[in-house]
Amino acid sequence: MNGSEPQTDQRQDKPFGFMVQPRASNRLDVTHGTILYLEDVSVSFDGFKALNGLCLYIDVGELRCLIGPNGAGKTTLMDVITGKTRPDSGSVFFGQTIDLLQMDEPAIAQAGVCRKFQKPSVFDGLTVFENLELAMKTDKGAWATLFHRLGSEQLDRIAEVLQTIGLQEYASRPAGALSHGQKQWLEIGMLLMQEPKVMLVDEPVAGMTHHEIDRTAELLLSLQGKHSIIVVEHDMAFVRSIARKVTVLHEGSVLTEGTMDEVQNDPRVIQVYLGD
């Protein structure tokens, strides 16, 4: 990486100009290998440009890390993808044909784009098993919930997720009794119960012990390929342990992308972020 110009992934298979009705079809078209397209996305808050013509492309099954200084636009980017914030301009597509800007937050989550915030939001009074059961992708209507009984397939799914997140022995324990790291894993498990195609994970190792950080790295690495995962994190050692490709944001735009070695040796990245 020579540091002369920002390196971004300017694809030629962008779906712009499509007139789509994403609610009319749930089919996710990833024939080009890309699951998220963000093109020229800008967001302003009282004159401050949180995102400024940002372009980002995420591949199917990819684990991508987003880094950047505070105020670089990382949280706003995740807000736009999940429908919490509407951009002033730009396009956000889920696959080739699903326009996320035409959908609200619940519809986006139902389509398969799920988010985990920095602070775990588990139900402390419920057991680990009950948290996973509650998060399961099922009919959440009052009548269906009242008469809901778990079938063998659903029990198997919960058992599978418990094993994935390493909490089999804690299934009957109240979530409030878990350590901070275990709560983070449980919330990742709750995302998995929703059968996500894209997972947005915000600072997953903040406040963790070294052992918990290592276990979280193993967990996320085990999920790549099965899900597309975007991780926002400030812990550079953790990012290095999981990242094949890193995107650096600065002032609401993509500054550069590449391997961890490439971005760490980029003079612009050193100046605006890593050298702080």
pLDDT per position as a tens digit, 182-234: 999 999 999 999 999 999 999 999 999 999 999 999 999 999 999 999 999 99
Is the predicted pLDDT of residue 5 greater than 50, yes or no? Answer: no
Distance (Å, rounded) from C-alpha 182 to C-alpha 199?
Answer: 18
56-66 pLDDT, tens digit per residue, is 999 999 999 99
Asked if 98 contacts 108 with a C-beta cutoff of 8 angstroms, the reply is no
Q: Tell me, what's the pLDDT at 47?
A: 86
Report if residue 220 sits inside a domain.
yes
Q: Tell me, what's the pLDDT at 212?
A: 97
Report if residue 256 sits inside a domain.
yes
Is residue 120 very low, low, confident or very high in pLDDT (cuts 50, 70, 90)? confident
18-49 pLDDT, tens digit per residue, is 333 334 345 899 999 999 999 999 999 998 99
Q: If you average pLDDT over every residue of the chain, what do you get?
A: 87
2-29 mean pLDDT: 49
Report if residue 141 sits inside a domain.
no
CA 144 from centre of chain = 29
In single-letter form, the type of residue at position 9 comes to D
Report if residue 179 sits inside a domain.
no
Q: Each residue of 159-172: b (16+ CB within 10 Å) or e? A: eebbebbebeebee
Question: Total domain count for the chain?
Answer: 1
Report if residue 172 sits inside a domain.
no
In terms of residue numbers, what domain contains 245?
Answer: 22-120+189-274
78-91 pLDDT, tens digit per residue, is 999 999 999 999 99
What pTM did the predictor assign?
A: 0.85
Q: Tell me, what's the pLDDT at 68?
A: 92
Distance (Å, rounded) from C-alpha 23 to C-alpha 9?
Answer: 29
| 21 contact partners, CB below 8 Å, separation of at least 6 | 102
DSSP letter assigned to residue 96: T
* Secondary structure (3-state) at 144: helix
Residue 47: how many other CB atoms lie within 10 Å? 5
Q: Tell me, what's the pLDDT at 121?
A: 84
Tokens representing residue 118 in the block: 């920095």
Looking at the DSSP assignment, which residues form a beta bridge with residue 44? 49
Asked if 172 contacts 131 with a C-beta cutoff of 8 angstroms, the reply is no
Is the predicted pLDDT of residue 273 greater than 90, yes or no? Answer: no
Tokens representing residue 29 in the block: 């078209």
* Secondary structure (3-state) at 16: coil
Report if residue 106 sits inside a domain.
yes
Report if residue 7 sits inside a domain.
no
Which residue shows structure tokens 């002032």? 251
The CATH number of residue 197's host domain is 3.40.50.300
% of the chain beyond a pLDDT of 90? 77
Distance (Å, rounded) from C-alpha 162 to C-alpha 155?
Answer: 11
